[in-house]
């Protein structure tokens, strides 16, 4: 993958990190870097087959520990189940990286009735973060990271019509979601 490279020498032994969408792209490269620093990384992914394959590749690095858990950000039930399972396996969380998302997706609604971009990229990570706050507060220096994009500059959110198919545009929906983080 091309782009910026983290040059920090910080080691992460003993730190637990959850990264959503860590099975490919920026998420995979982030997971790789965290593992090389000695972190315990939990890949929270919708597709367990892809996540398991990514975990196998990452395990070959010989550094850190990588685990896989199912998480579908388009489902509040999946998010709640994920958090319940995580709380049974870890006692604190040092870093949460909200990386997963959808972009230029045709109009569809989540099972909770939200437009897909807004549900997966905004409300899903919000709920996930909220439900994991208890674990984050147990860390000495917790971090929550939201991976975003400069595309927010082009967003113009119409809050009155954001969940109506007749006002939907794939590119606009993606820009709008990043505007919510700016």
Once rounded to an integer, what is the mean pLDDT over residues 79-94?
98
pLDDT the model gives residue 133: 98
For 44, 51, 96, 98, the CA distances from 132, given in Å and listed in that order, are: 13, 21, 9, 12
Once rounded to an integer, what is the mean pLDDT over residues 22-43?
95
Which residue has better confidence, 164 or 52? 52
Once rounded to an integer, what is the mean pLDDT over residues 7-23?
93
Q: What are 115-144's pLDDT values in tens digits?
A: 888 899 889 999 999 999 999 999 999 999
Instruction: Tell me whether strands 95-98 and 143-146 are parallel, antiparallel or unpaired.
Output: parallel
Per DSSP, the three-state class of 145 is strand
Structural domain boundaries of the chain? 16-149
pLDDT the model gives residue 26: 92
Q: What are 159-171's pLDDT values in tens digits?
A: 665 555 654 555 4
Specify the residue for token string 């792209």. 25
Which residue has better confidence, 164 or 35? 35
pLDDT the model gives residue 83: 99
Once rounded to an integer, what is the mean pLDDT over residues 42-52?
97
Per-position b or e across 33-60, b if 16+ CB within 10 A of its CB: bbbbbebbbbbbbbeeebbeebbeebee
What pTM was computed for the model? 0.83
Once rounded to an integer, what is the mean pLDDT over residues 45-69?
93
| Architecture of the domain whose range is 16-149 | 3-Layer(aba) Sandwich (3.40)
Residue pair 45/18 in contact (Cβ under 8 Å)? The answer is: no
Which residue has better confidence, 161 or 70? 70
State yes or no: is 154 an active-site residue: no
Considering the candidates 107, 122, 152, 174, report the single residue annotated as catalytic. 174
């Amino acid at each position: 993958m091309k782009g910026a490279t983290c040059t920090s020498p910080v080691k992460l032994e003993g730190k637990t990190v959850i990264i959503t969408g860590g099975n490919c792209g920026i998420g995979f490269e982030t997971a790789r870097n965290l593992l090389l620093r000695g972190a315990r990384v939990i890949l929270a992914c919708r597709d367990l087959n892809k996540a398991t394959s990514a975990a196998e590749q990452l395990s070959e690095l010989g550094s850190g520990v990588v685990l896989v858990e199912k998480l579908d950000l388009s489902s509040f039930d999946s998010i709640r189940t994920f958090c319940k399972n995580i709380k049974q396996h870890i006692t604190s969380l040092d870093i949460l990286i909200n990386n997963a998302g959808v972009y230029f997706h045709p109009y569809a609604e989540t099972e909770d009735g939200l437009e897909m971009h807004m549900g997966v990229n905004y409300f899903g990570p919000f709920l996930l973060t909220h439900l994991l706050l208890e674990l984050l507060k147990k860390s000495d220096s917790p971090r929550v990271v939201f991976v975003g994009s400069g595309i927010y500059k082009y967003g113009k959110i119409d809050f009155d019509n954001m969940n109506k198919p007749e006002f939907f545009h794939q590119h606009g929906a993606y820009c709008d979601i990043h505007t919510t983080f700016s």
